[in-house]
C-alpha cells in the first residue's frame, strides 16, 4: 500500500501523469474524454472545480446511487473529489458528503477544492478503508470508484462499509475483478497494481466476501472488459504493461472486468 500511496500522492501534486506509468510516453491527458468514456455526463463534469477530475476510476457510480436531498453519502478513496463533489450536489446543503482517502496530498487537494466552490456539506477525512474514520450506522449510501481492488484486505473494507451504513443502506461501486488468473508477470507488476489491475480479486471470491459482510440483493449493473477500455483510451499504457511483463493482449482479453454493482446492507 505504500507504493499505492506514493503513486497517488504524485498524481495529486502533478509530479506524474494521472493516467500512465512514468515509463510510458504520449498518453492522453484529456481527463474529460476519459471520464466521458467511463459514463460521466458532460453536465456533471462541467460542475466540478478545476483540478478535481484526474482521469482516474473505472466507472461512474454516483449517477446510479439514487441520492436524495438530506442524505449522508460516503465515498471510499475520494481522491481529488470528483465523486464526492457530484454526490454533494445531489444531497444538497441539508445533506452531507464524506470522502475518505489515505493519501494526504489527495485529501489536501480535495479540501481546497471544496472550499473554492463553497460546498460546505463536503467533509474530507484522512484514513484507510480498512478502518474508516466514520461513526457506526451514520451513512445512508456508500460509493467507490476503482479503489477497493487496490486494498489487500477486502473483507475488512466490506466489514467497515457494513458498520458505517444504516440498516437498509445501499452501496454502488465501480471496481475491477478477475474472471480468470492473470499471468504471473502481470499479477506481480507493481505499476499494474497501482493501475487497478494486479490488485484485483476473482469475481466469485469478491462477491462472497461482500455477502459475508452482510450485504444482499447484489446486482451487477455494468460488466465490460477493462482491457478493451484501456486499449481505446490509453493504448500506450497497455503497450508499456505488455512490454514490461511479456504478456500478450490475447492472454489478458476477457480476464480483467470493470464492474459497477449495487448491494443493500441487511
How high is the pLDDT of residue 236?
A: 84
How high is the pLDDT of residue 197?
A: 76
Q: What are phi and psi of 17, to 5 degrees?
A: -65, 150
How high is the pLDDT of residue 22?
A: 34
On the CB side of 249, CA atoms within 13 Å amount to 12
Domains annotated for the chain, with CATH where assigned, are: 2-265 (3.40.50.150)
The pTM of this model reads 0.83
How high is the pLDDT of residue 232?
A: 78
User: Helix, strand or coil for residue 149?
Assistant: helix
Q: Which residues in 70-119 belong to E strands, given as ranges?
A: 72-76, 96-101
Contact between 166 and 265 (Cβ < 8 Å):
yes
How high is the pLDDT of residue 264?
A: 98
Contact between 149 and 122 (Cβ < 8 Å):
no
Separation between Cα atoms, residue 208 and residue 190, nearest integer Å: 26
Residue 112: burial class (beta carbons within 10 Å; 0-12, 13-18, 19+)? middle
Question: CA dist 203 to 3, 82, 111, 126, 258, Å?
Answer: 24, 26, 34, 29, 11
Q: Which residues of the chain have pLDDT under 70?
A: 1-39, 42, 44-46, 48-56, 190-191, 193-196, 198
Separation between Cα atoms, residue 34 and residue 21, nearest integer Å: 16
How high is the pLDDT of residue 53?
A: 58
Cell numbers at 252, concatenated: 489478458
Amino acid at each position: 500500500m505504500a507504493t499505492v500511496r506514493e503513486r497517488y500522492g504524485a498524481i495529486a501534486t502533478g509530479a506524474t501523469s494521472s493516467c500512465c506509468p512514468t515509463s510510458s510516453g504520449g498518453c492522453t491527458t484529456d481527463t474529460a474524454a476519459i471520464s466521458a468514456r467511463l459514463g460521466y455526463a458532460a453536465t456533471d463534469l462541467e460542475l466540478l472545480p478545476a483540478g478535481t477530475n484526474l482521469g482516474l476510476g473505472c466507472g461512474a457510480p454516483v449517477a446510479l446511487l439514487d441520492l436524495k436531498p438530506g442524505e449522508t453519502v460516503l465515498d471510499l478513496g475520494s481522491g481529488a473529489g470528483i465523486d464526492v463533489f457530484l454526490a454533494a450536489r445531489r444531497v444538497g446543503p441539508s445533506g452531507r458528503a464524506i470522502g475518505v482517502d489515505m493519501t494526504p496530498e489527495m485529501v489536501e487537494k480535495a479540501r481546497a477544492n471544496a472550499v473554492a466552490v463553497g460546498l460546505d456539506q463536503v467533509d474530507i477525512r484522512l484514513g484507510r478503508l480498512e478502518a474508516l474514520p466514520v461513526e457506526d450506522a451514520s451513512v445512508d449510501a456508500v460509493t467507490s470508484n476503482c479503489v477497493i481492488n487496490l486494498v489487500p484486505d477486502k473483507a475488512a473494507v466490506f466489514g467497515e462499509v457494513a458498520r458505517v451504513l444504516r440498516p437498509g443502506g445501499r452501496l454502488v461501486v465501480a471496481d475491477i475483478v478477475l474472471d480468470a488468473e492473470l499471468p504471473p508477470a502481470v499479477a506481480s507488476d507493481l505499476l499494474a497494481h497501482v493501475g487497478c489491475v494486479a490488485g484485483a480479486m476473482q469475481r466469485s471470491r469478491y462477491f462472497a466476501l461482500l455477502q459475508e459482510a452482510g450485504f444482499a440483493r447484489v446486482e451487477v449493473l455494468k460488466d465490460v472488459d477493462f482491457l478493451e477500455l484501456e486499449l481505446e483510451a490509453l493504448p500506450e499504457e497497455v503497450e508499456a504493461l505488455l512490454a514490461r511483463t511479456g504478456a500478450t493482449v490475447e492472454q489478458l482479453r476477457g480476464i480483467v472486468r470493470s464492474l459497477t454493482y449495487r448491494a443493500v446492507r441487511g
